[in-house]
Amino acid sequence: MNLYTPGNGLFETHVTWEDIEQDMQRELKTKAIFGPNKTAKNIGDGIGFMSRVVLIEPDWQNQDKQLPKQFIVKVRLFQSKHEE
């Protein structure tokens, strides 16, 4: 993996759905998984160039507790727009 090239994850980052799902499971202490209707929307498009701000709607499956219907993730970029 080269952090200075666009990734194969969300919005050309190196962060994947699996990364976010695992982090949320750990932080929320749940075994629920993201469902087939999960969505990600870049809500910070055009604002800054060092990160992506993404609204996640996880479509939780197998919920074992009350979980957020949506949350925000900020993903750091290692490649600036000037280098693209």
**Tens digit of pLDDT for each residue in 20-31?**
999 999 999 999
Instruction: Classify residue 5: in a domain, yes or no.
Output: no
Instruction: Classify residue 3: in a domain, yes or no.
Output: no
The four Cα atoms 82, 49, 16, 3 give a dihedral, to 10 degrees, of 40
Mean pLDDT computed over 44-66: 88
Instruction: Classify residue 69: in a domain, yes or no.
Output: yes
pLDDT digits (tens, 9 = 90+) for 32-54: 999 999 999 999 877 767 788 99
Instruction: Classify residue 51: in a domain, yes or no.
Output: yes
Number of domains into which the chain is organized: 1
Please check the confidence at residue 66 and state whether its pLDDT lies above 80. yes
Expressed as residue numbers, the domain containing 64 is: 10-83
Instruction: Classify residue 48: in a domain, yes or no.
Output: yes
Residue 54, class by beta-carbon neighbours within 10 Å (0-12 exposed, 13-18 middle, 19+ buried)? buried
Q: Which residue type is seen at 27?
A: E
pTM to 2 decimal places: 0.80
Q: What gap in Å lies between CA 71 and CA 40, rounded to an integer?
A: 10
Dihedral of alpha carbons 25, 77, 71, 55, sign: negative
